[in-house]
Amino acid sequence: MKTTQGFLGTEAAAERKSVFVLTVPVEESTSYMTGTAEAPASILKASRQIELYNFGTGVDLEGAGIATVDTGARTLEELAGFLRREREAIAGGFHCFIGGEHSITPVILEEMKYGEIGIVWLDAHADLREEYLGNPRSHACAARNSLPFGNMVGIGIRSVSRGEVDFLGSSDRVKIFERWNDEAARAIGDLPGRVYLSLDFDAVDPSLIRAVGTPEPGGLTWDELLHIFDHIFASKTVVGMDAVELCPDESDTASSFAAAKAIYEALTRVVAGKGR
Ligand SMILES: [Mn+2]
């Protein structure tokens, strides 16, 4: 397992790795705009422009022990293989996986074996299809395929198929909300004490992050995203997270920067002692 200078330009000392940022450039089933395999590199590059001192929270990430690991995984099979080999090596820290497409999440949940968890799913789309374009492991099925690992609360979701509405009506394992509100907060409260956070960047309004595969207007504001992080990290033990589906565009540095900053805001809360 090779660590390099990476997220935020930091390099963790060998003895102190509290956070593993793992890059996962998997792109197998993208259905609209392509390029999410380039997201980890674009996010790492943008992250080097972020101040290590977080003015909003007062937390300083200097020396926090953030190790960036290139999984080298281009396919879901390669990701599963990497996690089987390296799970023990990264078990001591918090995991933040940077995709790549959303189909990586159920593979992570299966291989990391987090035990009893709830799942917080920030996304524009329900991702609850049984199969999409003939592919049961498509990004459009990622939430459905994650349900065996824990009950789920989806937030920011504003694009749902008729079939998914029927499934939601028949399942007590998943609740979805278009906005972040008291009802959504209560639903998170009903999840187990340990949760996994999956952030699809299209959950955020495209006025903030436009470079995604399927941009949907009307998403979460920046303040709402930070409130969700505050709520989850304060009220739950977050066992790990992923951040997926950016499709970087060289002419749109704001999207890559906002994506990097969103990850930074979450990791700030981990380092502040509100993670696992
Ligand atoms: Mn998604």
Q: What is the pLDDT of residues 73-122, one digit of tens each?
A: 999 999 999 999 999 999 889 999 999 999 999 999 999 999 999 999 99
For residue 229, pLDDT beyond 70: yes
pLDDT of residue 3: 59
For residue 150, pLDDT beyond 50: yes
Across 240-245, average pLDDT: 98
Burial string for 196-212 (b: 16+ CB within 10 Å, else e) reads bbbbbbbbbbbebbbbb
pLDDT of residue 91: 87
Lowest mean pLDDT among 11-15, 19-23, 65-69, 167-171: 11-15
User: What strands lie across the sheet with 3-4, from one edge to the other?
Assistant: 3-4, 66-70, 19-24, 94-99, 237-244, 194-200, 117-122, 150-155, 174-177
Class of domain 3-274 (CATH, top level)? alpha beta
Q: Give the distance (Å) from ligand 1 centre to CA of residue 175.
A: 15
Q: Which residues surround ligand 1, an ion (CB under 5 A)?
A: 102, 123, 127, 200
Q: Give the distance (Å) from ligand 1 centre to CA of residue 203.
A: 8
Q: Smallest Cα–Cα separation from 195: which of 233, 224, 139, 155?
A: 233
Q: Give the distance (Å) from ligand 1 centre to CA of residue 30.
A: 11
Percent of the chain with pLDDT over 90: 83
pLDDT of residue 276: 41
pLDDT of residue 17: 79
pTM of the model: 0.95
* Exposed / middle / buried, residue 166 (Cβ in 10 Å: 0-12, 13-18, 19+): exposed
Q: Give the distance (Å) from ligand 1 centre to CA of residue 244.
A: 8
241 contacts 266 by C-beta, under 8 angstroms? yes
